[in-house]
Amino acid sequence: MTQAPIIRGARRWGSLLAIGVICLGGGVAHATAPPLIPIPAEVRAASGSFAVDAHTMIAYAPGDTKAEAAARYLAEELRRSRGVTLAVTATAHPAARSIVLHSDPKASVEQREGYSLDVHSDGARIVSRDAAGLFYGAVTFWQLATADGGRDATRIPGVSIRDWPRFEWRGLMLDVARHFHDVATVKQVLDAMAEHKLNVFHWHLSDDQGWRIEIKRYPLLTSVGGWRTPPGAGTHGEPARYGGFYTQEQIREVVAYAAARHITVVPELDMPGHAQAAVASYPDIVGVNGDHPAVSVDWGVNPYLYNVDEKSFTFIENVLDEVMALFPSTYIHLGGDEAVKDQWKNSPTVQARMKSLGITDENALQSWFTDRLGDYLAKHGRRLIGWDEILEGGLPRTASVMSWRGVQGAIDAAKKDHDVVLAPAGWMYFDNLQSDRADEPNGRLSVLALERVYGFEPVDASLTPEQARHVLGAEATLWSEFIPSARHIQHALFPRVDAMAEIAWSPRETRNWQGFLQRLPAQMRRYAALDIAASDTAFAPAIHVEGDIATILRNGKATITIDNQTAFGTLRYTTDGGAPGADAKAYTAPFTVSLPTTVRAVTFAPDGAAIGSLRTRTVDRDNLLTRRNGELMKCPDGSLGLRMPLLPDLGAMDTPVYDIDLFHACWVYPKAPLDGVTGIRIEAARLARNYGLAHELSKVVSYPSKTAHGELEVHQDSCAGTMLASFPLPEDKALGEPIVLEGKLPALRGEHDLCLRVTAPTDGPLYGLGSVKLTGSHPR
């Protein structure tokens, strides 16, 4: 076996291209590095290739239970994704051309969770000192065997890998409180985590909108706290009552399923804020001020806090007893985020309690609250982790910190010798949209593109090596206000989880964006084989019409450009109605089409396979004069931008979505070509205003109205400009009903921005604009 020099990860792939041309049995030259994500610490190309087919055996030595578990996992993964069934056999003398898994306390890779994997024509061998390492070796082998996305037999080029993780905490958080996701969906997430070598599943089990874990001693937590009545309940497919919870038996099942994949489940019960579902269930035990709220239907920040008296602590400790019995995790997450202190400030009993404790402000009270629960967990051999707000009143002695409001919380905590996990919203909040494309589903309107995720570095340069040791790792979070279904989860997580996994697993010096992109097409094929609806945003062709619309309409010709978010691959297109295949014209420069023409485009990866799905744009009068949701601009640039579904809990991916700025009900139709325009047609919808804004409520701008439900006004140039039209909003439309507003515009010439503004009362529903179309005898 000839060996090429060691390739340390992606940075040297260019070299691998030069030296590592590997001939497969059929004589096909493969000039690419192994398509593995996360990239292993060390990869060497090796000669030969290894056939995996129905005759291939997976073998382990009798009594080697760690190897047996990984062997069975590998067989099941290959069956699931390729449809090949390999025999798993305990034998001291494996046949030639077997995949052998072997525990060895003296294995050459010494790092925890590390492994070596050698593939050559006589077989494959995975060796590790520990069970996790064998498991990750199996994952790597599975990736090698599924890169082509095909079924049945395959052939793997020879390779020699030594690999281990950079961080011990490679986390993914799923919020099941805002939208409930059933056990089957959670298991799919765990399967995908294992396939990415992620090992901490942070399960956000309670929040204002739902309590999701059965607690035997307090049954109302789930019978009351597990359910809410959504806005629009019972109409347009919206459920009449929304919710659900996991029984303790189901929790045990999930914990065991995760453990079999070397994933620790860290439960989160959020406190003292985000407590409304708990308070709704037991207002007289944990509530403040005698308030009896219902389970919240509002996203955002709600005011209900846990009480700080002994009754409340007894309740919380009893709940934690059951939680600790269910979850073997050392860490228990007790939230701590966004606890607005109004209730504590306004409660004479809470104020008296503070006084008796000698605590002078409410942040310090939260610190005391957290510290006390941290002590309780510590007495039971557990550790508390919380969001970075727990730093505010003085960091509780025993706590570890999950930094979400940027990275400063992690830096501060690490400098104080506390362990930290990095989950900063600007890089790790996967409920943000992946692009500004109009075809993105629900989410927060901030764009968190794949490349930005990939660029995150968990260890800040200001930390000393000693302090850096407190960085346990990184975590991606999926908050679920806008994630109502398993399909939405898949779209939001993948492939951004691939970028995150490489940050958390691979040595820093191996990370390379272009190398990562090269390895993604294989990963997209794995997703397809597993029926995971990964987002193709990074490769999706964007078909742009250049120049001003009036000129295009006058000349009947338009200049088209095509690009994609990552500038990866070859964009191929047609203008004759056919679907672009591998032989379609490659886009290299702007081109001209006559109106009407439909442009169809697909991105092809360097290996010649399509990556992502077809995108289409029809260039005609109607299309050029219409701006749809996502093509209208925000005005002024709002800070709380959301892409909301028609109704909060509709689970279909094709539910209409609307871009909303919670503070300003206005949008801009940029550069409207008004020559010959005589009218306007607006499709709008009345949406639930279900958002708790707490202290930000005062920022909501209301515009003066003349009729009961307000109007949709059209202004010239800016919202302060001349009003061109005003359409009273109808009285008889329920939430989610489409509203069509149509009427005349005065004759104007040239291009003008149009401000579209809703003057409806701000204590009523929100409005969204589906599309705005200019009508009339535009010059041809």
Cis peptide before 396 (omega within 30 of 0): no
Amino acid present at 715 = H
CA dist 580 and 573 (Å) reads 5
CA dist 250 and 221 (Å) reads 16
Cβ atoms of residues 448 and 432 within 8 Å = yes
By CB under 6 A, the residues from 264 to 303 that bind ligand ACM are none
**Burial code of 357-376, b = ≥16 C-beta within 10 A, e = fewer?**
eebeebbbbbbbbbbebbeb
Count, residues near ligand ACM per rule CB under 6 A: 4
CA dist 149 and 82 (Å) reads 8
430 binds ligand ACM (CB under 6 A): no
Q: Least separation, in Å, of the C-beta of 338 and ligand ACM?
A: 5
Q: Least separation, in Å, of the C-beta of 387 and ligand ACM?
A: 5
Residue 418 designated active-site = no
Residue 102 designated active-site = no
Among 42, 77, 338, 475, binds ligand ACM (CB under 6 A): 338
Q: Least separation, in Å, of the C-beta of 642 and ligand ACM?
A: 14
Beta bridge partners of 768: 685
> What are the DSSP calls for 641-677, one per residue?
EEEEESSTT---TTS-EEEEETT--EEEEEEEE-TTE
Q: Least separation, in Å, of the C-beta of 337 and ligand ACM?
A: 4
Cβ atoms of residues 714 and 745 within 8 Å = yes
Nearest Cα to 349, choosing from 305, 294, 408, 390? 305
Q: Which two tokens stand for residue 266?
A: 């860290």
Among 387, 663, 727, 767, binds ligand ACM (CB under 6 A): 387
Q: Which two tokens stand for residue 440?
A: 């993105």
Helix, strand, or coil (residue 447)? strand
By CB under 6 A, the residues from 450 to 469 that bind ligand ACM are none
Cβ atoms of residues 254 and 274 within 8 Å = no
Cβ atoms of residues 382 and 371 within 8 Å = no
404 binds ligand ACM (CB under 6 A): yes
Looking up tokens 């306007």, which residue turns up?
Answer: 680
CA 124 to chain centre: 35
**Burial code of 215-238, b = ≥16 C-beta within 10 A, e = fewer?**
beebebbbebbbbbebbbbeeeeb
CA 581 to chain centre: 31
Among 104, 122, 337, 631, binds ligand ACM (CB under 6 A): 337
Cβ atoms of residues 293 and 275 within 8 Å = no
Nearest Cα to 203, choosing from 219, 222, 218, 189? 189
Cβ atoms of residues 522 and 147 within 8 Å = yes
392 binds ligand ACM (CB under 6 A): no
Nearer to ligand ACM among residue 421 and residue 769 (C-beta) = 421
Q: Least separation, in Å, of the C-beta of 211 and ligand ACM?
A: 17
Q: Least separation, in Å, of the C-beta of 479 and ligand ACM?
A: 6
Residue-level length of the chain = 780
Given the residues 102, 179, 274, 488, select the one marked as catalytic: 274
Nearer to ligand ACM among residue 276 and residue 716 (C-beta) = 276
Q: Least separation, in Å, of the C-beta of 406 and ligand ACM?
A: 12
Nearest Cα to 517, choosing from 585, 603, 447? 603
Given the residues 175, 207, 238, 419, select the one marked as catalytic: 207
Residue 583 designated active-site = no
Q: Least separation, in Å, of the C-beta of 269 and ligand ACM?
A: 13
Q: Least separation, in Å, of the C-beta of 404 and ligand ACM?
A: 4
Given the residues 175, 338, 419, 713, select the one marked as catalytic: 338
Q: Least separation, in Å, of the C-beta of 512 and ligand ACM?
A: 30
- For ligand ACM, which residue has the nearest CB? 337
The strand pair at 264-268 and 200-204 is best described as parallel
- Annotated catalytic sites, by residue? 207, 274, 338
Give me the residues that bind ligand ACM (CB under 6 A), please.
337-338, 387, 404
